[in-house]
Structure 1
């Protein structure tokens, strides 16, 4: 009976993560429909490989990694099929929840959409989802130094895209 008790707990925990998974999926894919497909695939894989998750560890980090790997597989498959991935600016990215910003939300979404996949994933996990650097690095399967470097580069790129006048050298 103990296994019956564990399964609903796992399911309830997964269900609680769905909004965060959808937000992460939209940041990775740039499309609401691709994000929903990715979330569905990740949830199915999580259920299928439930025994691989260690209770007491972060379920969100584990499933974010599943999603990241599934998206990498999808992008590779699309590239093999010579399909072009085009971001729809109306559905490009979920707005960052929380603090108000003086920067136009559409401009932020468009700027984030211009980041590389690795940089978008780092931004999504740390700045949007609030994972610690260590948790995000584990979710992405990279060393913490790599994650820190990706975040630094992503922030620089976002700053340049959102406030280009501040990056111009001074005239002498």
Structure 2
């Protein structure tokens, strides 16, 4: 590297700073752009042909650096507190599938009348009166069955904590399946 390259390189620095200010009004960002330009130019100094215009060469590097930064900034979104990122995340699909299997198993343990009522009201979206008409009982009976079914499902699905065994722990009733984690039931054969 010749001494003339180094002298020309340093001599064009004020012009490069002025040119950077035409792209960036903020002094700090303009200085960052100048620094990036000078680092890139210094790294590729072997590609500079002596006798050509040093200022034009540096201006071209600066302009290309600015355009690259501008394009990159258009694709980036500032998310300092992580709110946007949190909204973009998705829970694993297997958790929903396992929860659905657990719900199916829990529904199977309900007495037929409670299961029928909670499915008509909860899953089919019928009103209590409509469900009562389908089942052939009073609306109050449907409300009672749905209420008991929901409470039982909450116990089975672990939504009410680690409560007692179903039906108050009576000896002949099925035991509550052990939990593998919040809302996840293991299949257990009752002897």
TM-score by length of 1: 0.43
Return the structure number with greater helix share: 1
Q: Between Structure 1 and Structure 2, whose CA radius of gyration is higher?
A: 2
TM-score (norm 2): 0.39
